[in-house]
Every structure is written in structure tokens, then in C-alpha cells.
Chain A
Amino acid sequence: LAKTTQPISMDSYEGQEVNITCSHNNIATNDYITWYQQFPSQGPRFIIQGYKTKVTNEVASLFIPADRKSSTLSLPRVSLSDTAVYYCLRGNDYKLSFGAGTTVTVRA
């Protein structure tokens, strides 16, 4: 079964950039990589999705190297409200594989 690995936690301060890297072995040719954000007692919420190279939206950037064996979510200038758990997701034959989640704590 495909495995998705990401760091357990990361600490940061307001205004800093946070980068979270997810490793995904055996990623399939048709797999996209998606990142979700989850606050306590809520369902996850979509942040960004990509296939290769770099994708940017109003919230984050996603960097995926040519071999696609990893992806890096970049949160620019974080604020206290960005404190949450961040998950990366890749799909594989209907067996979706979420990472275990990275708890990002932003301090003032």
C-alpha cells in the first residue's frame, strides 16, 4: 500500500514562512497531490492541489519536483489563525492515502 509521510509537528512565529514536506513513495502516474487544513472539531478544508512543478493560490504554494516523490506546502507569512493540522493526500486505486498530519503551531 502506498505510504505518505510528513513531519508530526512544526513551530513557527507570526510573519514567518512555513514549509511542510510530504514524502510519497510509489506515487502513481495519475495521482495528484492535495493538501488539506483541519481545525479542531471541524472537517478538513482544501488548501491547494498540484501535479508537477509549482502551483500558487491566494493561500499557499505547492512545490512538486520532477520525480514527484515529495511535495512541499509553503505557507507565506503565517498568522496565529494558521495554527492547525495540515494533511497531504495522494490517491492510489481508490485507496486514498492521507499523511498522518503535521500540527503547525504559530506563536506571537
Chain B
Amino acid sequence: GAGVSQSPSNKVTEKGKDVELRCDPISGHTALYWYRQSLGQGLEFLIYFQGNSAPDKSGLPSDRFSAERTGGSVSTLTIQRTQQEDSAVYLCASSLAGWVSADTQYFGPGTRLTVL
């Protein structure tokens, strides 16, 4: 079956521009997660959605970052006024039930963002 998909796979933008990253979770998965992975670094948790609701947005790096999820499905991570330090791979994952600790997460291939 179809896995988690993300688009675009690569995005190059200029400093100061806004970007939108999209995640299509596995059908029927109620939970959705966003992570950031800088070059050679580990995974930084950004935000988690249970349905369309995000219980805690404090993991987002700054107020330039926002995320939404509609219809319990597609999610968009928006970065406004991009900075060079935003360059990273942004990974999305989804899971069936949403109990964050016990649920197996299925990851997408990621979007590689480069800010010039």
C-alpha cells in the first residue's frame, strides 16, 4: 500500500521567502508528526497532530514556523521569512492510533530544504 509521501522532495529558496512543505500520511492514520534533521544531525521533533489538533506547539523552532492539518489527513508545514539555518531535511511521519510513545511511526522520504 501507499506509504507516507512528502512534497516537494527538494526545495531551494532564497533567504526571506516563505515555503510550504506538504505531507500526505498513510490513509487511516490519525496521528502525524513533523521532524527536522539538519545535516549530520539527529532528529528534532517539531510538532504532533492528533486528528487536526496539535496539543503542543512549543517544539516549533520559532514563530516563523507554523503547521496545520486539515480533514485529518494532509498536513502543511510553513516556514515564513526563511533563514539559512532553516536548511535541513524535514521529515513527516504518521501512526495509526496516536499514543505518541507506543505507536509505530512510518516516515516519509523527507523534503530537503536549502535556503540560499
Instruction: Determine whether A81 belongs to the interface, using a CB cutoff of 8 Å to chain B.
Output: no
**A96 vs B93: C-alpha distance in the bound complex, in angstroms?**
13
How many pairs of residues, A versus B, come closer than 8 Å at their CB atoms? 63
Majority-rule SS of A interface residues? loop
Of B44, B45, B59, the most chain A CB neighbours within 10 A belong to B45
Which residues of B are found within 8 Å of A32, using beta-carbon distances? 101-102
**Is the beta-carbon distance between B59 and A98 smaller than 8 angstroms?**
no
**Is the beta-carbon distance between A94 and B100 smaller than 8 angstroms?**
yes
**A41 vs B39: C-alpha distance in the bound complex, in angstroms?**
11
Instruction: Determine whether A49 belongs to the interface, using a CB cutoff of 8 Å to chain B.
Output: yes
**Is the beta-carbon distance between A30 and B101 smaller than 8 angstroms?**
yes
Majority-rule SS of B interface residues? loop
**Is the beta-carbon distance between A49 and B45 smaller than 8 angstroms?**
no
Instruction: Determine whether B56 belongs to the interface, using a CB cutoff of 8 Å to chain A.
Output: yes
CB-contact partner of A98 in B45, B58, B109, under 8 A: B45
Name B's A-contacting residues (CB within 8 A): 4, 33, 35, 41-45, 48, 55-56, 58-59, 91, 93, 100-102, 104-110
Name A's B-contacting residues (CB within 8 A): 28, 30-32, 34, 36, 41-46, 49, 51, 87, 90-101
Provide 6 A-B residue pairs closer than 8 Å at the C-beta atoms, listed in order of the A residue.
A32-B101, A32-B102, A43-B110, A49-B102, A87-B42, A100-B41
